[in-house]
């Protein structure tokens, strides 16, 4: 009886520890992707592409884009020291947040979220600005 119990238990453990393949999502081997990069055109993954030149001036220079959200009306762009709102035509609308240590400021932009017509900004200290 003990050997039958041992056999059943070991069989159960063996099958429960086996690797299961999830066919819902593709698995990407990062090591292989880094060693053998594949160049893709944006047209391979998008139906259409539109280039929008953003309005800039001496006080509105974007060194890099760290976060980008496209809504029905606006582009919300997080970069360097600010988070700004642009129309779909590229016209600057307003700054919605900036870097700093004040109550409405963030220390380092970590994430931008757009939920229920509100922009949520999380910073390095996990503080959320609305």
CATH code assigned at 80: 2.40.10.360
The Cβ of residue 35 has, within 10 Å, a number of other Cβ atoms equal to: 8
Mean pLDDT of 82-109: 81
Q: Provide the pLDDT confidence category of residue 93 given band limits of 50, 70 and 90.
A: very high
In a domain, 3, yes or no: no
In a domain, 18, yes or no: no
Extract long-range pairs of 79-83: CB within 8 Å, 24+ residues apart.
Answer: 83/109, 83/112, 83/119, 83/121
pTM beyond 0.85: no
Structural domain containing residue 75: 53-129
Q: Provide the pLDDT confidence category of residue 90 given band limits of 50, 70 and 90.
A: very high
In a domain, 124, yes or no: yes
Collapsing DSSP to helix, strand or coil, 73 comes out as coil
Q: Is the pLDDT of residue 84 over 70?
A: yes
In a domain, 72, yes or no: yes
In a domain, 62, yes or no: yes
In a domain, 61, yes or no: yes
As a whole number of angstroms, the distance between CA 81 and CA 79 comes to 6
In a domain, 73, yes or no: yes
pLDDT, position 5: 58
Number of domains forming the structure of the chain: 1
**Cβ 77 vs Cβ 86: under 8 Å:** yes
In a domain, 9, yes or no: no
């Amino acid at each position: 009886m003990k050997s039958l119990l041992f056999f059943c238990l070991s069989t159960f453990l063996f099958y429960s520890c086996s690797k299961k393949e999830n066919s819902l999502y593709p698995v990407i081997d990062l090591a292989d992707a880094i060693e053998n990069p594949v160049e893709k055109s944006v047209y391979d993954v998008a139906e259409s592409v539109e280039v929008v030149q953003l309005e800039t001036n001496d006080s509105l220079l974007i060194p890099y884009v760290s976060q980008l959200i496209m809504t029905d009306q606006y582009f919300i762009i997080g970069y360097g020291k600010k988070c700004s709102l642009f129309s779909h035509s590229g016209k600057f609308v307003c700054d919605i947040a900036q870097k700093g240590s004040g109550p409405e400021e963030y220390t380092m932009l970590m994430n931008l979220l757009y939920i229920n017509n509100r922009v949520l900004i999380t910073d390095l200290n996990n503080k959320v600005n609305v």
